[in-house]
Amino acid sequence: MKDSGRRLLWLFALALVALPPAYCSTGVKDDTPNDLASANTNGPIVKGKESEVAEILASPPACFPELISAVPFSIYGVDKHGNHVIFLEGRSINWEVVSSKKSHDLVDYVKYLALFFWVNVDKRANSALTVVVDTNGFTLRKVLNGSVKAVLDALVSGLESTVQYVGERPGHVFLLNSPAYLSPLISLLSGLVHPKVQLVSVSSRKKWEVLLQDHVGASFLPVEYGGLKAKTLMDSPFVKSIDQEVRRILESKTAVKL
């Protein structure tokens, strides 16, 4: 590679790292046990944290309805081990809405969605979670303007912020179809997840199909992701139910104020 090419690559990597970091406070004190899952003996929530979680769920972020449409996670179903699999497709993200939000709005959205999921959908104390992010749609322009970093930061930071409430659950985050220019950002994010979460980036469809089939199971994957299941990602009823419930909560809070 010519010197000018090397300089350009380094400048690009530095630009990614220099982008403003997302709000990433978990609120976990230094004396919190490393393995919070061991203390999680009262359903999906760490013992003693139930009332705090109830308060959080009773006050959804005001921008939640907008973001659940703009950053549409699909809770597709369970894998061969009985753990849930969630998809996020880059081409389905409304990047204009994302760029209009502050980082803490995105983190709060993911945090709320995750807690709602653990309390109302999965409900198990020590279950794992797999998140599949299809990076098609993560264009270089969106990387350079910070939109992609904002979404990935929100995903990692939002999930990490729930550790104090649900414990350090094992999980996988698969980044599919990852272009080379995402590598510096992925390296940065990999240092933010806790040790029980594996962040895997795969660019080749042939390779990620094998990975997903092995990890999730072909009969539990949608056809568009190398599986045998006819149900599409958008057919999942979970997210629609969550959206409806959150809207009901927000409307009731507005009515009380009036």
Pick the CATH number of 52-242 from 3.30.1490.20, 3.40.525.10, 1.10.10.10, 3.40.50.620: 3.40.525.10
Residue 210: pLDDT over 80: yes
pLDDT at 221: 95
Whether 223 contacts 230, CB under 8 Å: yes
Report the chain's mean pLDDT, rounded to a whole number: 83
What's the pLDDT at 3?
Answer: 46
> 72 — alpha (psi -120 to 50), left (phi > 0) or beta?
beta
Q: How confident is the model at residue 18 (pLDDT cuts 50, 70, 90)?
A: very low
Residue 190: the pLDDT is 82
Q: How confident is the model at residue 132 (pLDDT cuts 50, 70, 90)?
A: very high
Q: 5 falls in which pLDDT band (50, 70, 90)?
A: very low
Q: Residues 136-165: what's their mean pLDDT?
A: 93
Q: What is the three-class DSSP state of 202?
A: strand
The 10 Å Cβ neighbour count of residue 132 is 25
Domain boundaries, the chain: 52-242
- CA gap 121, 115 in Å, rounded: 10
Average pLDDT over residues 180-202: 88
Q: Which of 230, 216, 228, 240 is nearest to 78 (CA)?
A: 216
- pLDDT, tens digit (0-9, with 9 covering 90-100), for 51-80: 999 999 999 999 999 999 999 999 999 999
Q: How far apart are the first and last CA of the chain?
A: 65
Q: What number of residues does the chain have?
A: 258
- Give the pLDDT confidence score for residue 188 in this predicted structure: 84
Give tens-digit pLDDT for 86-102: 999 999 999 999 999 99
Q: What is the pTM of this model?
A: 0.80
Residue 17 pLDDT > 60: no
The Cα 38–Cα 116 span in angstroms is 21
- pLDDT of 232 reads 84
Tell me what the mean pLDDT of segment 159-186 comes to. Answer: 92
Beta-bridge mates of residue 132: 87, 174
pLDDT greater than 70 at residue 10 = no
CA distance 172 to 155: 12
